[in-house]
């Protein structure tokens, strides 16, 4: 196992840089944090991390090479992801001002401002679909397994790389969730209210448009 540490470090650093860069996953977790709170954001983060295992699986099976070569399938994935993000973004962009905050006790502000919590399954599915249909994530994992990971590396070790990337993705976005659900951040959200929600919707729509017109070839 010790002979693979250098390869593992390369994989870990490349993945860290990719997961920390702003994109659909980051925007979705921030949106869930500000709109629904920590529980929904954490389940969304777990969904994103779980989706990583889908990318790892087809990369290990070699299906990723076929996907990469198929312009049709990449286009389907691209437009599905763009449509999904645009739909979520549109719902946020159409958020109405929250009623009933004026004169409410300070301790009740957060509860009044926060919409009904989505079920854990719904929040998880939101994160899972956001990541699994993102063709940029597909390209990253195909490139990683084709150019960085030696094909001679035992499959068990490659699976270990995949589990590491899945868990660290979850951990990263859970940390993002914790930051954006802090009391001071929540208070700022209450002051901006629906305008911040609309702003996050605009960000998601912009990402969807950029993805729809991006070249994945």
What distances in angstroms separate CA 51 from CA 132, 167, 189, 212, one per listed residue? 5, 11, 29, 21
Task: Report which secondary-structure segment, H or E, holds 35.
Answer: helix 24-36
Q: Where are the beta strands (DSSP E) in 15-121?
A: none
- Distance from C-alpha of 49 to C-alpha of 128, rounded to nearest angstrom: 8
> For the whole prediction, is pTM greater than 0.85?
no
Contact 145, 68 (CB under 8 A): no
Task: Tabulate helix, strand, coil % of the chain (nearest 5).
Answer: 80, 0, 20
Residue 6 has a CB neighbour count (10 Å cut-off) of 9
Residue 132 has a CB neighbour count (10 Å cut-off) of 20
Contact 46, 169 (CB under 8 A): no
* Tens-digit pLDDT profile for residues 82-100: 777 677 778 767 766 555 4
- Distance from C-alpha of 19 to C-alpha of 30, rounded to nearest angstrom: 14
Q: Supply the pLDDT for residue 103.
A: 45
* Tens-digit pLDDT profile for residues 134-157: 877 877 787 777 777 887 888 899
Calculate the average pLDDT of the chain: 78
The total domain count for the chain is: 1
- How many residues would you count in the chain? 217
Residue with tokens 């401002």: 113
Domain that holds residue 166: 2-15+24-213
């Amino acid at each position: 196992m010790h002979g693979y540490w250098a390869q593992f470090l390369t994989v870990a650093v490349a993945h860290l840089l990719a997961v920390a860069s702003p994109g659909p996953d980051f925007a979705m977790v921030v949106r869930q944090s500000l709109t629904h709170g920590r529980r929904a954001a954490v389940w969304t983060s777990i969904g994103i991390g779980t989706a990583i295992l889908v990318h790892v699986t087809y990369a290990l099976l070699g299906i990723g090479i076929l996907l990469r070569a198929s312009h049709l399938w990449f286009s389907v994935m691209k437009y599905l992801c763009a449509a999904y993000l645009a739909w979520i973004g549109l719902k946020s962009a159409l958020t109405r001002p929250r009623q009933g905050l004026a004169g409410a006790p300070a301790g009740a502000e957060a509860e009044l401002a926060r919409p009904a919590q989505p079920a854990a399954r719904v929040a998880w599915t939101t994160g899972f679909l956001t990541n699994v249909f993102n063709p940029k994530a597909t390209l990253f994992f195909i490139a990683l397994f084709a150019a960085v990971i030696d094909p001679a590396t035992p499959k068990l070790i490659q699976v270990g790389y995949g589990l590491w990337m899945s868990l660290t993705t979850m951990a990263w976005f859970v940390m993002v969730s914790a930051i954006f659900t802090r009391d001071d951040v929540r208070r700022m959200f209450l002051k901006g209210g629906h305008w911040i929600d609309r702003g996050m919707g605009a960000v998601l729509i912009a990402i969807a448009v950029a993805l729809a017109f991006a070249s994945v070839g």
